[in-house]
Structure 1
Amino acid sequence: MRETAAPARLTGPRLALLVGLGILALAAASIALTGLATGYIIYIVNLVLVAIVLALGLHIVIGECGQFSLAHAAFYGIGIYTAGLVTNLAGTPFWVSLLAGGLMAGLIGFFIGFLSLRMRDIYLALSTFAFGEAMQWLFLNWTSVTGGPNGLNIKPASVLGFQLLSDRAAFPLVLAVTLIIVALVTVLHVSTLGRSMRAVRESEIAAGSVGINVVRMKLTAFTLSAFIAGLAGGLYTTFSTFIHPDSLGFQTTIIILTTVVVGGMGSLVGAIGGAVVFGLMSELLRQVPSYQEMIYGAILILFMMYAPRGMFAFIGRR
């Protein structure tokens, strides 16, 4: 009987080439689309780009390092409120507010990770879930800072002294930052650090036996994930001038988690593709808010049962 060759997986240079081509295609499609689209369509494109950044942040901690975190929406909210408050109080340029949101979320992520990442599996999930719920309570009740249930109005972001007063004006910056994050996460994936994280994901005992500091890898992944989520929050403030705590609850975490799992857990291409699909789907489902949880739950169950490798698993083979 003739043996069949096993499918080759995309690794190293092949993955970098594929993602590079995807970046060019994403940039070209976005620019072409916004040249003809209405303001609402451009707003949706901006939301999808932010969803890509969010998914890549969660991909680092879950897909690369195999640690289950349910606090991603909290770090996203920290980035939004930090960037918004810095802009409101100091009138700083876009880049300063963006980095402030990322650094604040990364710093808090490092602290929470230091406390939580000695736990494993369900205990880690519960501890990060508790942190996410605590931050949701803080966003809702710290009225003097966050605006509480009334929400927070954010001044328009500015670049070189010019205010970004429309979604179309903010789009080039949102696209540029998204492409930079995609490129950096791709570099991480093919680097020694990325391989060490994946070794921890596959077996902590085996990784430790070859000299990998397991706790350090987990903490690095958690901090980078929180930092990128904070950047996504800062990016959101470039085209949105209002934020309400209700949009940062546990449902947002579930949507991001579904994006990564259904797109292809452990797959960089899957995280990006899932973010595009679910970024568009979440906007469509705004018309039926009562059924969103049921629809996302059904999708997640079906994929876990019949396609556990994810929606874009076929791209990982040749």
Structure 2
Amino acid sequence: MAAPTSSPAAAGRAWPAGTLLALLLAAALLVALPLVTTGYVVYIANLLLVFVVLCLGLHIVIGESGQFSMAQAAFYGIGIYASALANRATDLPYPFAMLFGALVAGLVGLAIGALALRMRDIYLALATFAFGEAMQWVFLNWDSVTNGPNGLRISPARFGPLEILSDKQAYPFVVVSCLLMIGLTIAISRSRLGRSFRAVRESEVAALAMGVDVRRAKIVAFGLSAALAGFAGGMFGLFQTYIHPDSLGFQTTILILTMVVVGGLGSIGGAVGGAIVFGLLSEVLRQWPQYQEIIYGLILILFMMYAPRGLFVFIGDRMKGLHHDR
């Protein structure tokens, strides 16, 4: 009697061996990193994980729903300032400040989404870019709240009696926060809401015909994207003690956009991988700040021309081509 074969559904649920191995190696690296490296390396790891959450937010609005936004750095800044001020004003554990930052940024995102309903493509990009520039002006000039061009000192994050005073102390909390946001993004993508986002991305007319509330989907996409950016701002406050408005401008917007586009639009894995690769590249280019925007712009142009599906798909296709040539 032949052995029973697994059903297609069960096979679809199984993890591919390569994916499982990569996840195990990533988990081992995350656990071992603070034990075998210096404080600076842990700081970079914390920063990369913040970029991952920022890119997940932009992935929802661009990759999932197809709405072009250039305001992610502004929502990130709102989250940083809101969580920092909430942490300073209350004695509640820091996660409440992080959630407050996400809530404030999310509400602003909902408002921007509602205002942007009549705009598409380049007009939507210009409108969100204008909002981002306006928010940087607010950060620079609202002295009584943001301390203006002097920047804002961020009080240490507190978890009950524990006060976070170093990058290594903050690292476990940053890792857990990032993993929670990755899980949330995957859950959204696989939900009915995620399917409605993708229907809007492919065709608004077809989405309407299938009963999708296009207006609601667009507004919610902006709100969720902004909330994730605001949460990333709260994560930033876990290990940073100072924020200046200059770090929340156009250069940061272009960096986040480059991470998502080059990583692979429409792919959560691409957003995560792009954040890590180009987060590291941004540290390398820190020595030449005057050339950063030019380099990011060139990378964006080249990938949109020659690898529109993203870096990792491009590498995979080349490897498959080499394998078939043998």
- TM superposition score normalised by structure 2: 0.90
Describe the shift of the 1:48–1:15 C-alpha distance in structure 2 as closer, same or farther (beyond 3 A).
farther
Matched, 1:198 2:198: yes
Describe the shift of the 1:186–1:106 C-alpha distance in structure 2 as closer, same or farther (beyond 3 A).
same
Q: Secondary structure at the match of 1:117?
A: helix
Structure 2 unaligned residues grouped into runs of 5+: 1-11, 321-326
Equivalent residue number for residue 143 of structure 2: 143
Offset, 1:23: 5.4
CA distance in 2, matches of 1:158, 1:79: 17
Describe the shift of the 1:204–1:30 C-alpha distance in structure 2 as closer, same or farther (beyond 3 A).
same
Opposite residue 305 of structure 2, the aligned amino acid is M
Equivalent residue number for residue 9 of structure 1: none
Equivalent residue number for residue 32 of structure 2: 32
Offset, 1:157: 0.2
| 1:50-96 deviations in Å (ceiling 9; x for gaps) | 00000000000000000000110000000000011111222431111
Describe the shift of the 1:134–1:13 C-alpha distance in structure 2 as closer, same or farther (beyond 3 A).
farther
CA distance in 2, matches of 1:222, 1:192: 17
Contact 2:34–2:42 (CA<8 Å) still a contact in 1? yes
Q: Secondary structure at the match of 2:238?
A: coil
Contact 1:79–1:231 (CA<8 Å) still a contact in 2? yes
Q: Secondary structure at the match of 1:237?
A: helix
CA distance in 1, matches of 2:127, 2:159: 39
Describe the shift of the 1:297–1:168 C-alpha distance in structure 2 as closer, same or farther (beyond 3 A).
same
Show the 5 A alignment for 1:96-245.
96-245=96-245
Matched, 1:57 2:57: yes
Describe the shift of the 1:73–1:115 C-alpha distance in structure 2 as closer, same or farther (beyond 3 A).
same
Contact 2:307–2:314 (CA<8 Å) still a contact in 1? no
Contact 1:16–1:186 (CA<8 Å) still a contact in 2? no
Q: Secondary structure at the match of 2:309?
A: coil
Equivalent residue number for residue 312 of structure 1: 312
CA distance in 1, matches of 2:149, 2:156: 21
Q: Secondary structure at the match of 1:70?
A: coil
Structure 1 unaligned residues grouped into runs of 5+: 1-11
Contact 1:196–1:212 (CA<8 Å) still a contact in 2? yes
Opposite residue 38 of structure 2, the aligned amino acid is T
Number of residue pairs the alignment of both structures matches: 307
Show the 5 A alignment for 1:295-310.
295-310=295-310
Contact 1:78–1:230 (CA<8 Å) still a contact in 2? yes
Opposite residue 123 of structure 2, the aligned amino acid is Y
CA distance in 2, matches of 1:167, 1:151: 20
- Does 216-225 or 24-33 show the bigger shift? 24-33
Equivalent residue number for residue 72 of structure 1: 72
CA distance in 2, matches of 1:59, 1:259: 10
Contact 1:77–1:233 (CA<8 Å) still a contact in 2? yes
CA distance in 1, matches of 2:63, 2:34: 32
Specify the structure having the higher radius of gyration (Cα): 2
Q: Which runs of 4+ in 1 moved over 2 A?
A: 12-28, 314-318
CA distance in 1, matches of 2:224, 2:104: 12
| 1:156-208 deviations in Å (ceiling 9; x for gaps) | 00112210000000000000010011111111112221111111101111111
| 1:247-292 deviations in Å (ceiling 9; x for gaps) | 0001111100000000001111110100010111111111111111
Q: Which has the higher contact order (CA 8 A, sep 6+)?
A: 1
Offset, 1:117: 2.3
CA distance in 2, matches of 1:244, 1:192: 39
Contact 1:94–1:157 (CA<8 Å) still a contact in 2? yes
Equivalent residue number for residue 286 of structure 2: 286
Contact 1:113–1:222 (CA<8 Å) still a contact in 2? yes
Offset, 1:153: 0.3
Offset, 1:17: 9.9
- TM superposition score normalised by structure 1: 0.92
CA distance in 2, matches of 1:14, 1:118: 43
Opposite residue 193 of structure 2, the aligned amino acid is L
Opposite residue 264 of structure 2, the aligned amino acid is G
Contact 1:93–1:160 (CA<8 Å) still a contact in 2? yes
CA distance in 1, matches of 2:20, 2:215: 31
Describe the shift of the 1:118–1:23 C-alpha distance in structure 2 as closer, same or farther (beyond 3 A).
farther
Q: Percent of counterpart pairs with the same letter?
A: 60
